[in-house]
Structure 1
Amino acid sequence: MKIKVNNIVKLLLLFVISTTIIVLSSYWGSAVIALPPPEDTPEEILRTQIIIEARSPIDGRFLTAAEYAQLEAQLQQTPPPKLDPKIRDQIFLLRIRKTLLQFFPFLNF
């Protein structure tokens, strides 16, 4: 009888300790996780700021707003370079070959 009571007390003690550890560990960092870092600027403030500098889409260097507008206008005026029709056909055939090899990997062409 004494052994049975001793085992029940040990089991109860183990249950209380493990429950306490689980509850405390779940509440430990929850307040910190919910808040953003203090150095983070709120989105509402970022939306109201006027962007006065930008990066070049060509080489990534910093540009002023006027330089960026000028570069955008230049890029819209010049048409993109066109490929030779023979090269375009070769690229098309290579893409078809790649697709066919995905479905039929045992073909060697």
Structure 2
Amino acid sequence: MARLKTRQRILLLVLGVSTGILVWLSSHWGTAVMALPPPEDTPEEILRTEIILDARSPIDGKFLTAAEYVELQEQLQVNPPPKLNANIRQNIYLIRLRKAILQFLPFLDL
């Protein structure tokens, strides 16, 4: 019985020491990763003051000049004419209205 207790104590000691070493190694492992950025990297403060002269199209990702980008943004702001038939739009509106009413009054047979 005494032999079993000493064996358990030794196992507990080995387990505790190995766990402590693993925790210590894992905590120091990431210190090499947490370094300063490379010196050729431009700081964010400088990048914020730069004026961006070219952009990408939100439609297809092609490069655009500043004037083309502004023109495209203006075109996108204009709402296109509705492409659905008026009867279909009316039916969609009624279906959405029915769904909203049934959420508040579920006992109605609509």
Residue identity opposite 2:17 in structure 1: V
| TM-score for the superposition, normalised by structure 2 | 0.57
2:52 is matched with 51
SS of residue paired to 1:88? helix
2:81 is matched with 81
Relative to 1, partners in 2 of residues 1:98 and 1:35: Cα closer, same or farther, differing over 3 Å? Answer: farther
2:93 is matched with 92
Q: For 1:90 and 1:71, how far apart are their aligned partners in 2?
A: 33
Q: For 1:8 and 1:95, how far apart are their aligned partners in 2?
A: 70
2:62 is matched with 61
Deviation at 1:53, TM superposition (A): 1.0
Stretches of structure 2 lacking an aligned partner (at least 5 in a row): none
> Which structure features the higher share of helix residues?
1
- Percent identity of equivalent pairs: 56
Q: For 1:20 and 1:59, how far apart are their aligned partners in 2?
A: 53
2:71 is matched with 70
Q: For 1:51 and 1:87, how far apart are their aligned partners in 2?
A: 44
Relative to 1, partners in 2 of residues 1:23 and 1:74: Cα closer, same or farther, differing over 3 Å? Answer: closer
Deviation at 1:101, TM superposition (A): 7.4
Q: For 2:73 and 2:8, how far apart are their aligned partners in 1?
A: 79
Q: Which range moved further: 81-90 or 21-30?
A: 81-90
Q: Which range moved further: 1-10 or 89-98?
A: 1-10
CA RMSD of aligned residues (A): 4.0
| TM-score for the superposition, normalised by structure 1 | 0.58
2:20 is matched with 19
Q: For 1:47 and 1:101, how far apart are their aligned partners in 2?
A: 51
Stretches of structure 1 lacking an aligned partner (at least 5 in a row): none
Q: Give the paired residue count.
A: 106
Q: For 1:8 and 1:79, how far apart are their aligned partners in 2?
A: 77
